[in-house]
Amino acid sequence: MIEPRVNTDAEIKRQLGILRRRDENVARALKSAGMPGARVMKPGFATLIRIIVDQQVSVAAGAAIWAKLSRAAGGSVTAPRLLALGETGLRAAGLSGQKARYALGLAEGVAARRLNFASLGRARDEDVRETLIAYKGIGLWTADIYLMFGMGRPDIWPVGDLALQIGAQLLHGLKAKPTPKEMELIAEPWRPYRSSASILLWRYYAAEREKAKMAMKSAKK
């Protein structure tokens, strides 16, 4: 068992409490944005498909596509039901041709017992990443988001996430977005709770963006 998970508000609060005492930047982000809550997704095939659906689309668009896909799959997104729908059925449910093929590739892996989510639950972070990115359409970002939210792993830091990069830039007063290598250095003091730090930084980024919008509205009046 790999503990502690980041699937409860109490655990995130505990972990960020530790980081706040360790790093004044974390304390400042918490003061500005407030304490974030847990984001819990059930581990398994459906959650990984949901993450793929949400790639590069708005939150609203992703939710709409997922709702349509769930209905098409009879209320339960499973590998056999997606295989039965096929590419035509998945595209009718709102997936692009590319995402439909990614989803079917994963479904085929599950059907052939090459992809076992129960086994992934016992695997190390590095092994989970290696297993998932072997499938077309699964990159490091997708694997990390699944590790963080689907599996509740505590030390995940998606260095290629644009919102995290901008959040780190704002928090540290940088002139440009940090590179993935620079992101690794920024988050080094936040080990072994980088997942909680990620969740906080997403919240901080959203809060700062909203403040900027409000300031622009006020300036126009």
Look at residue 221 in the predicted model and tell me its pLDDT: 67
- Amino acid 1: pLDDT: 44
Alpha-helical runs (H) found in the chain: 9-22, 24-33, 45-54, 59-72, 79-92, 97-111, 117-120, 125-132, 140-145, 162-172, 180-187, 194-220
pLDDT at position 26 over 60: yes
Q: Which of 72, 53, 71, 75 is nearest to 62 (CA)?
A: 53
Q: Residue 214: its pLDDT value, please? A: 81
Give the span between the Cα atoms of 184 and 62, in whole angstroms: 29
pLDDT at residue 4 greater than cutoff 70: no
Residue-range domains of the chain with CATH? 9-39+156-215 (1.10.1670.40), 45-150 (1.10.340.30)
pLDDT-above-70 percentage for the chain: 98
What is the pLDDT, as a whole number, of residue 108? 98
| DSSP-assigned letter for residue 121 | T
| pLDDT tens for each residue of 202-218 | 999 999 988 888 877 77
pTM, 2 dp: 0.92
Instruction: Report the amino acid identity of residue 167.
Output: G
DSSP assignment of 43-56 equals -SHHHHHHHHHHTT
Where does the pLDDT of residue 139 fall: very low under 50, low under 70, confident under 90, or very high at 90 and above?
very high
Q: What is the mean pLDDT of the chain?
A: 93
Query: What pLDDT is stored for residue 168 in this prediction?
Result: 97
